[in-house]
Amino acid sequence: MESTPAPGGSMGSAPNSGGSSSNTSSQQGGAHAGSHPSNNSTTIQQTGISTLSRAELKKAKAVSDAIDKSLRADRERQQKERGAKLLILGPSETGKTTVLKQLKLLYGRKGLEAERQTYRRVVHLNAMKAIQALSYGLQKANIPLEHAGNIAHLETVMRLETTLKRYSITSIGFTNPAIPRKITDAKAETDMFLEMVPAIRALWADGGIKETFNTGSNLNLQDSAKYFLDSIDRIADLNYIPTDDDILQARVRTLAVSEHLFNIDGVVYRIYDVGGQKSLRKYWAPYFDDVNAIIFMVALSAYDQPCEDDERQNRLQECMSLFNSIANHKLFEITSFVLFLNKIDIFQRKLDSGSLVSKYFPEYRGPNDYENTTVFFQHRFLQQCKDTAKQVYTHFTHATDTNQMKVIVVAVNAIVQRLNLRSSGLL
């Protein structure tokens, strides 16, 4: 297995196997009777073949090398034209769709423009769901509000619970047919958000809500909660248009498998984004054939969180079990994996706040710092592969950081192309 444990570093690369060889062409002709080697040139005598001067051998080799180079270039071109098929797999809320958004931003012909206006609605719903989760967490933990005057705001937000469940943020630009049109109307949602802004602003400034945010790990709170709540005045502006960062931070639940085409350095990639919920994983199998590589997403920050559908199970443990089943799947015996240990920014923040990895993973006995804990989790995931020779390229990622993702995509492209050339016998 190959990996690069250093955060932000470049990906490990697979060792090249074999190499190209050049055949030396010889000119054939009749034997020259009575010919003698000159004093200033070396000749080679072969049975039935004329002797060649050093210059002639050099010229023949150059021709042969040129032919080999041309054939190799042609095969590489054909390999590129065939493209590559990548799957992005992993549990829900690990950043799969965020990686896809980054690819659109970096390599899509129109970037994120086609989705910009639609994400306005998603951002508003994300902000409302964030303050709702914090309000629920405050009541569950019996944390008092700092200002008694905010009780009315809290009651207003809590009344959102049944209403927000009727809103669909599972697809961009398409109405969920199971939800009445009037409920998914963007204007109606925006109007509701604008009515909620005073309550959201007041509660987010309250010390009780801040304490809930800083201490609660079982809130089912989206990672972008602080980002949007800190920006409440900006996103509440009547002329608000989501920025690229807003779209990258916005949470949209994926409920279907979608195919996307990207041209990265002359290679056409077919990349599939899939829903990560347990109920949706049964739909992954039809996409397992002819896969060049798999990007498996892990949310390191989930080490202290229970699964959404089973609070008895740790999210990161469940992710390891899923990686075990995928990495050891019979269809992926020769498929290489790129392991994204994602959300390192949130992971670092939790460590800095005093959250102990050993509390959730008792087998860990090292220091509670970033360097040692990330190595521990990297090793745990690599241990899931039964085939110790399997190629797994590890990278610690911050998927909402466009600059870092650009470097990572370039590295992944290089890895995939090297693997393609090797599988076709060109390396």
Give the pLDDT confidence of 121-165 residue by residue, as tens digits.
Answer: 889 989 999 999 999 899 989 999 999 999 999 988 888 765 555
Establish whether 98 is a catalytic residue: yes
Look at residues 102, 99, 128, 112 and name the one whose alpha carbon lies nearest to residue 298.
99
φ, ψ of residue 183 in degrees (nearest 5)? -80, -30
Greater model confidence, 86 or 219? 86
- Return d(Cα 101, Cα 109) in angstroms, integer: 13
Of 36-40, 106-110, 359-363, 386-390, which one has max mean pLDDT?
A: 359-363
Higher local confidence (pLDDT), 81 or 299: 299
Q: pLDDT at residue 358 above 80?
A: yes
Which of 156, 251, 305, 391 is catalytic? The answer is 251
Q: What is the pLDDT of residues 56-69, one digit of tens each?
A: 778 778 777 776 66
Query: Which of 215, 277, 317, 402 does the annotation list as catalytic?
Result: 277
* Annotated binding-site residue? 289: no
Q: What is the pLDDT of residue 184?
A: 47
Beta bridge mates, 393? 338
Q: 97 among the known binding-site residues?
A: yes
SS3 state at 59: helix
HSE toward the beta carbon, residue 39, CA cutoff 13 A: 0
**Is 93 known to be catalytic?**
yes
Instruction: Label residue 189 by pLDDT band (50, 70, 90).
Output: confident
Instruction: Check pLDDT > 60 for residue 50.
Output: no
Amino acid at 44: I
pLDDT at 252 over 50: yes
Q: Is position 112 annotated in a ligand binding site?
A: no
- pLDDT score, position 145: 94
249 is in an annotated binding site: yes
| Residue-level pLDDT at 68 | 63
273 is catalytic: yes
Supply the pLDDT for residue 282. 57
Taking the complete model, does pTM exceed 0.95, yes or no?
A: no
Check whether 343 is labelled as a binding-site residue. Answer: yes
- How far apart are alpha carbons 85 and 291 in whole angstroms? 5
- In the chain, what are the domains? 84-92+255-414 (3.40.50.300), 113-249 (1.10.400.10)
Residue 281, classified by CB atoms within 10 Å of its CB into exposed (0-12), middle (13-18) or buried (19+), is middle
More confident residue, 420 or 324: 324
98 annotated as ligand-binding: yes
- Is 30 labeled as ligand-binding? no
Q: Is 273 flagged in the annotation as binding?
A: yes
Based on the number of CB atoms within 10 Å of its own CB, is 141 exposed (0-12), middle (13-18) or buried (19 or more)?
middle
- How far, in Å, CA of 24 to CA of 326, rounded? 46
In this prediction, residue 275 carries a pLDDT of: 62
Residue 198 scores a pLDDT above 80: yes
Whether the pLDDT of residue 214 is over 70: the answer is yes
Start-to-end Cα distance in the chain? 19
> C-alpha angle 19/20/26, rounded to 5°?
145
Q: Work out the mean pLDDT of the chain and round it to a whole number.
A: 77
Q: How far is CA 225 from the centre of its chain?
A: 20
Phi, psi of 393 (to 5 degrees): -100, 115
Q: Tell me: the pLDDT tens digits for 215-234?
A: 876 677 888 999 999 999 99
Query: Which residue among the candidates 98, 348, 384, 394 is catalytic per the annotation?
Result: 98
Instruction: Work out the pLDDT band at 173, boundaries 50, 70, 90.
Output: very low
Q: Which residue from 227, 276, 245 is spatially nearest to 119, judged by alpha carbons?
A: 245
Consult the annotation and say whether 299 binds a ligand: no
Is 253 marked as binding a ligand? yes
118 is catalytic: no
Binding site annotation covers 394?
no
Q: Does pLDDT of 175 surpass 50?
A: no
Is residue 349 part of the annotated active site? The answer reads no
Q: Which of 246, 273, 305, 373 is the catalytic position?
A: 273
Query: Above pLDDT 70, what percent of the chain?
Result: 71
Distance CA 108, CA 86 (A): 16
Residue 48 has pLDDT above 50, yes or no: no
Q: How far is CA 134 from CA 139, 190, 229, 394, in A?
A: 9, 21, 11, 34
Question: How confident is residue 32, by pLDDT bands cut at 50, 70 and 90?
Answer: very low
Residue 268, helix vs strand vs coil: strand
Assign 228 to helix, strand or coil.
Answer: helix
392 is in an annotated binding site: no
Q: What is the pLDDT of residue 310?
A: 79
pLDDT at 161: 60
